[in-house]
Amino acid sequence: DPFFFFTNMKSILSSLFALSLLSLSSAHAQCHFPAIFNFGDSNSDTGGLSAAFGQAGPPHGSSFFGSPAGRYCDGRLVIDFIAESLGLPYLSAFLDSVGSNFSHGANFATAGSPIRALNSTLRQSGFSPFSLDVQFVQFSNFHNRSQTVRSRGGVYTTMLPEADSFSQALYTFDIGQNDLTAAYFANKTVEQIGTTDVPEIISQFKNAVTYIYAQGGRYFWIHNTGPIGCLAYVIEWFPLKASDFDSHGCVSPLNHLAQQFNDALKQAVIELRASLSEAAITYVDVYSAKHELFVHAQGHGFKRSLVACCGHGGKYNYNKNIGCGKKVTVRGKEIYIGKPCDEPDKAVIWDGVHFTQAANKFIFDKIAAGLRMACHRQ
């Protein structure tokens, strides 16, 4: 009976399809991470630079925390949304000894951190001395000492991670932007940076991941760098020619430099996957999400893209000498001149350097699906 045959075949095929979906979902079950260890710069700093060199003052934190929270943002960063989505508390900065709980990981990022160590102080250059190699040393010390201290029992067992958290944790990276801008600010050409600096920067990044793998890290979540040519603090640094700008107001050569770095980083991830056989390494394209925001801001509900929400003066509401939150004293009276805009949730850029909470949420939403798969090697 042909009808019987086709009905049976349909039933068999449906069963096989269901089984294949089941095997796919079991092979790629949703990941669970008991902890996050983060390495990076201001894009993911939850209080490191503030603890080391003085607090990021108001109006930072005003949209969510209600007061400064160590973040160069009006609210949450992408790393905060990652922690939320994994059901974990916000990460305490490793450098912050006051009120920190490290039971679910630690944040080694500080604002201004590069991958390569820079031969200058924070005061001289504005870049952090806590480069990626220093962050690794801090992590290594934390890894060893946290277990020694945890063995004392009592309150330490609730404040420090369990031993197996280190092999089960997600290791997140968002770093590299400062290496590119530091070289640019040092008057190197885009071509020089791309051909001489980028390979060395990427080599040092690979070393850091390899060292963490040697300490038991297995799950790596690596952000590429964003379109630096769309950020006011970079645009305002040098006089640029009209031909340097694209149709969206961003500096094309600098965005091409970021893409060159990202191509090298992506290749590095491929090489790391080959050499670290037990690692699951996810390359996360935040460049595309950030660029989309600059190019189609209004289509995503934003009113301003390149112009900073918090700052003072100029085409981009940005002045490096009058930063977000800056106050001056006139005739004994304090006047707030680095003021925030009325609708931070409608701005892409917070202070000419960093993204707003609303933009960070948009970026996170674009990459969130990958977190469910970040523990799988395929």
pLDDT attached to residue 124: 66
**Residue 373's Cα: distance from chain center in Å?**
18
pLDDT attached to residue 28: 65
**Residue 342 in this model has a pLDDT that exceeds 90:** yes
Among 41, 42, 44, 50, the one annotated catalytic: 42
- pLDDT band for position 22 (50/70/90)? very low
Q: Is 351 a catalytic residue?
A: yes
pLDDT attached to residue 245: 97
User: Percentage of the chain surpassing pLDDT 70?
Assistant: 91
- Asked if 177 contacts 225 with a C-beta cutoff of 8 angstroms, the reply is yes
**DSSP label at residue 230:** G
pLDDT attached to residue 126: 77
* Alpha carbon distances (Å) from 61 to 47, 147, 302, 327, 348: 11, 33, 19, 17, 16
Contacts of 120 (CB under 8 A, 6+ apart): 127
Report the pLDDT averaged over residues 258-262.
Answer: 98
pLDDT tens-digit readout, 288-337:
999 999 999 999 999 999 999 999 989 999 999 999 999 988 889 988 89
Among 32, 113, 351, 376, the one annotated catalytic: 351
Among 11, 256, 354, 365, the one annotated catalytic: 354
* Alpha carbon distances (Å) from 58 to 290, 334, 340: 25, 14, 10
**Residue 7 in this model has a pLDDT that exceeds 90:** no
pLDDT tens-digit readout, 58-102:
999 999 999 999 999 999 999 999 999 999 999 999 999 999 999
